[in-house]
Amino acid sequence: RGGETRVGVENMFGLMDRFLKSDPSSLQKDILDHVEYTVARSRFSFDDFEAYQALAHSVRDRLIERWHDTQLHFKKKDPKRIYFLSMEFLMGRSLSNSAINLGIRDQYADALKELGFEFEVLAEQEGDAALGNGGLARLSACQMDSLATMDYPAWGYGLRYQYGLFRQVILDGYQHEQPDYWLNFGNPWEIERVHVTYPVKFYGTVEDENFNGGKRKVWLPGETVEAVAYDNPIPGHGTRNTITLRLWAAKPSDQIDMESYNTGDYINAVVNRQRAETISSVLFPDDRSYQGKELRLKQQYFFVSASLQDIIRRFKDSHSNFDDFHEKVALQLNDTHPSLAIAEVMRVLVDEEHLDWNRAWDIVCKIFSFTTHTVLPEGLEKVPVDLLESLLPRHLQIIYDINFDYIEELKKKIGLDYDRLSRMSIVEDGAIKSIRMANLAIVCSHTVNGVSRVHSELLKTRVFKDFYELWPHKFDYKTNGVTQRRWIVVSNPSLSALISKWLGTEAWIRDVDLLAGLQEQAANADLHEEWRMVRKVNKMRLAEYIEAMSGVKVSVSAMFDVQIKRIHEYKRQLLNILGIVHRYDCIKNMEKSDRTKVVPRVCIIGGKAAPGYEIARKIIKLCNAVAEKINNDPDVGDLLKLVFIPDYNVSVAELVIPGADLSQHISTAGHEASGTGSMKFLMNGCLLLATEDGSTVEIIEEIGKDNMFLFGAKMHEVPALREKGPALKVPLQFARVVRMVRDGYFGFQDYFESLCDKVEGGNDFYLLGYDFQSYLEAQAAADKAFVDQEKWTRMSILSTAGSGRFSSDRTIEEYAEKTWGIEPCRCPF
Ligand code: 7GP
């Protein structure tokens, strides 16, 4: 294209904020205009969904304005930029978050009221953008919010899956998966950039070609797919800065393959082209392992290649050579998923930009940083060489070349210790020869970050020990955080208002350390009363939701005890369920008169199981089977209820977390890299029942052991306990509850057998039996504390007050300063 008219940048800033007014009557007109012209409904007759659409477009207009200003400003200043590459972003809904970050939510609410609509009701019309699986993906979303709020020149890059994470439907207690075709009703939060497209190539061969008196490699690809950009503006809070999350969708290439059209097989030629779109069609629903899947590899390369073309094009717009590349570009690898980017940068610099190999390598080593999100070996990706060779033949050569140089260097440093050399090699020579993506990422990155302190220790002493010994300076950690904008301000507006009232300022929304100011008030009786009131209203909202979803009526005076997260053996939902069985058993067996002493509980569990993960599916079924029995037992009544919340996602979390009294983070010590759910609960004044794993260890330092309920084997004890196998002592109560399941007390005897086998007879890898006793004790301590409402409220206030360290603002600031070397670039007002 060309010939576009550009208003001088200076003039542009002069005009800022003049275009769209945000007083209620302008907003009203704006919404009605969108009803009429965008949604094409009469402004005299439209329903909630249409009102939502119009409202969303009105907010979007304002986002776009700021977003343009921000991009212009970045362009003018040309700061070093951070490019955050992630296969997954779990954004959830956008409306409330955007309106709040723009600072005009209340104006909208007023404008809507006069039109006869309620802001919250319309906000509920929006579906979740669920382009991710679990913790890693939601962390990316929180970090985008912090990057925007803190004015960093940042871009997020990912994939625009047509089908997000599957919808979970529970039928007869079993999980069923349904496709999440989230774009069905349009998506007002994205802007399709039909002109921002790049060709992405696959397959083919590599040939030698004469060049400047020598030889060079030329990749002759066999298939080309077009990547089209969809931009999602991400507004900061209290700033004009609005950054870009650019997601790529696959489209058939524009280049017509005349051959197939000339054969007369027109229909099949079109159908074949259409296949290209499958690359970005579906998110893989396993959050740990997808080894050896061609489509997965295609997705990875597709988004990496398009993103890098975009990044390099932007750089070349204002630079004539690559001398300053590392001064202007930082590339963050969110886990190993985007690590093909390393080989791709080498390929572009060497094959296309004709830099010499060493110079290209020097640049690569300065721009990449890598964060790993797991300690589980199955989370470390391996790509079979055969697969890579057919899909990306040139990249395989480049990886081999990188490995060759690196192993030669390594030999000089560590000698001919072949065991160690083979462990550290990027190429694994096993039955299936593969590329170890984590090793590639470590070798080529200047920094390898863990996501909590203990995670980092595990990386150094176990997972990546060999590498740590070689390059101790590369290893660091940035404890995860979550954004208080989404997790307090958006999801818990009444708590948010209460905090601002008692702190006398709203500044904590951008400067979360101010929450510590609540500590002084932790014993204040007036605050206690208001605090309990807010919590009660949130519990009522949750109780209504539970009744609507599951038909179970729950009492808000009971303790709401929540465990919501992906279903995994290591996260031990099974321990929770067996604990509930024990509680049930106790109630059944006690004298009627003693039942008055029982602290009533509503146990809430939610989470999705990867479709192929049988044991996780059985855990869901067991939860529902136990719930069925307990909830219908007249002996138990309100003393105990168990609810499985279906289709857990970001929006459900926003509803459940503010209503929880107690939340469980009970992974076997040494397995949860960090855990971020706990931080959201903490911010909302929910007490934690937890093992000393992941970020919990750091949470303890902030709020103190006395303000939470801890239990279980410590990380250093776990290996020895495991070694004991069948000799490990297990309490009788544990054997009893497992026996109840085995004997068919909850039905489905055969189906649950393998689940029981997993925790008995020396197979109890996650130490449920060993930890059972101390788990029950921690639960009893929680009961005791709950009865003392004064004590509980103080603990609750202190939880919120101590949560400041777990804001993603802090995490991002550490990344910016220590890993990326970037500075804020604030758009002037
Ligand atoms: C998760 C970790 O399990 C969790 O402990 C951590 O808080 C979160 O990342 C954010 O760092 N990992 C994933 O979600 C995941 O998909 C596979 O890991 C690589």
Instruction: Please name each of the domains of the chain with its CATH number.
Output: 7-77+94-127 (no CATH), 81-92+141-382+437-479+816-820 (3.40.50.2000), 487-806 (3.40.50.2000)
Tokens representing residue 790 in the block: 């004064």
Closest CA to 611 of 377, 281, 160, 287: 287
Q: Which pLDDT value is given to residue 606?
A: 98
Cα(112)–Cα(114) distance, integer angstroms: 5
Ligand 1: distance of its center to the CA of 264 in Å?
50
Instruction: Judge if the beta carbon of residue 134 lies within 6 A of ligand 1.
Output: yes
User: Which residue has the CA at smallest separation from atom 16 of ligand 1?
Assistant: 287
User: Taking 50 as the threshold, does the pLDDT of residue 1 lie above it?
Assistant: no
This complex has an ipTM of: 0.99
Question: Which atom of ligand 1 has the smallest separation from the CA of 335?
Answer: 19
Which residues are the active-site residues? 373, 565-566, 571, 676, 680
344-to-7, 199, 443, 524 alpha-carbon distances in Å: 36, 14, 15, 59
Cα(780)–Cα(733) distance, integer angstroms: 15
Residue 438 contacts residue 415 (beta carbons within 8 Å)? no
Instruction: Judge if the beta carbon of residue 803 lies within 6 A of ligand 1.
Output: no
User: Taking 90 as the threshold, does the pLDDT of residue 151 lie above it?
Assistant: yes
Handedness of CA 186, 191, 194, 197 (dihedral sign): negative
Ligand 1: distance of its center to the CA of 448 in Å?
15
DSSP per position, 208-271: EEEETTEEEEEEE-SEEEEEEEEEEEEEPSSSS-EEEEEEEEEEE-SS--HHHHHTT-HHHHHH
User: Taking 50 as the threshold, does the pLDDT of residue 230 lie above it?
Assistant: yes
Residue 675 contacts residue 135 (beta carbons within 8 Å)? yes
Per-chain mean pLDDT for the chain: 95
Handedness of CA 110, 115, 118, 122 (dihedral sign): negative
Strand 687-691 versus strand 662-665 pairing type: parallel
The 10s digit of each residue's pLDDT in 302-359 is: 999 999 999 999 999 999 999 999 999 999 999 999 999 999 999 999 999 999 999 9
- Overall average pLDDT of the 264-289 stretch: 86
User: Taking 60 as the threshold, does the pLDDT of residue 758 lie above it?
Assistant: yes
**163 Cβ contact partners less than 8 Å away, ≥ 6 residues apart:** 179, 180, 181, 182, 281, 282, 283
Ligand 1: distance of its center to the CA of 633 in Å?
38
Instruction: Judge if the beta carbon of residue 776 lies within 6 A of ligand 1.
Output: no
CB atoms under 10 Å from CB of 722, counted, come to 17
Instruction: Judge if the beta carbon of residue 335 lies within 6 A of ligand 1.
Output: yes
Which residues does residue 434 pair with via DSSP β-bridges, in sequence order?
384, 428
Question: Which atom of ligand 1 has the smallest separation from the CA of 288?
Answer: 17
- Burial code (b: 16+ CB inside 10 Å, e: under 16) for 440-454 equals bbbbbbbbbbbbbbb
- Overall average pLDDT of the 373-384 stretch: 87
**333: three-class secondary structure by DSSP:** strand
Cα(136)–Cα(373) distance, integer angstroms: 7
Cα(406)–Cα(417) distance, integer angstroms: 15
User: Taking 60 as the threshold, does the pLDDT of residue 17 lie above it?
Assistant: no
- Overall average pLDDT of the 136-147 stretch: 98
Tokens 């146990």 belong to residue: 603
CB atoms under 10 Å from CB of 721, counted, come to 17
Q: Which pLDDT value is given to residue 481?
A: 98
Question: Which atom of ligand 1 has the smallest separation from the CA of 675?
Answer: 7
Cα(633)–Cα(673) distance, integer angstroms: 39
Residue 262's pLDDT band (boundaries 50, 70, 90)?
Answer: confident
Instruction: Judge if the beta carbon of residue 480 lies within 6 A of ligand 1.
Output: yes
Which segments of 471-596 does DSSP mark as H helices, in order? 484, 493-503, 525-550, 573-589
Q: Which amino acid is at 213?
A: G
Q: Is 747 exposed, middle or buried (0-12, 13-18, 19+ CB in 10 A)?
A: middle
Q: Which pLDDT value is given to residue 257?
A: 64
The 10s digit of each residue's pLDDT in 479-499 is: 999 999 999 999 999 999 999
- Overall average pLDDT of the 800-812 stretch: 98
Cα(638)–Cα(36) distance, integer angstroms: 51
- Ligand 1 mutation pick, 131, 136, 284, 682, max ligand atoms within 8 A of CB: 136
- Overall average pLDDT of the 91-98 stretch: 98
pLDDT more than 90, % of the chain: 91
User: Taking 60 as the threshold, does the pLDDT of residue 507 lie above it?
Assistant: yes
Q: Which pLDDT value is given to residue 377?
A: 77
User: Taking 90 as the threshold, does the pLDDT of residue 98 lie above it?
Assistant: yes
Instruction: Judge if the beta carbon of residue 374 lies within 6 A of ligand 1.
Output: yes
Angle of the 294-318 helix axis to the 340-347 helix axis, nearest 10: 50
The 10s digit of each residue's pLDDT in 433-458 is: 999 999 999 999 999 999 999 999 99
Tokens 């990044």 belong to residue: 311
User: Taking 90 as the threshold, does the pLDDT of residue 10 lie above it?
Assistant: no
Ligand 1: distance of its center to the CA of 287 in Å?
8
Q: Which pLDDT value is given to residue 770?
A: 97
Find the helix or strand (DSSP H, E) in which 11 lies.
Answer: helix 9-15
pTM of the entire predicted model? 0.97
Instruction: Judge if the beta carbon of residue 455 lies within 6 A of ligand 1.
Output: no
pLDDT more than 70, % of the chain: 97
Instruction: Judge if the beta carbon of residue 35 lies within 6 A of ligand 1.
Output: no
**100 Cβ contact partners less than 8 Å away, ≥ 6 residues apart:** 237, 485, 489, 490
Ligand 1: distance of its center to the CA of 417 in Å?
33
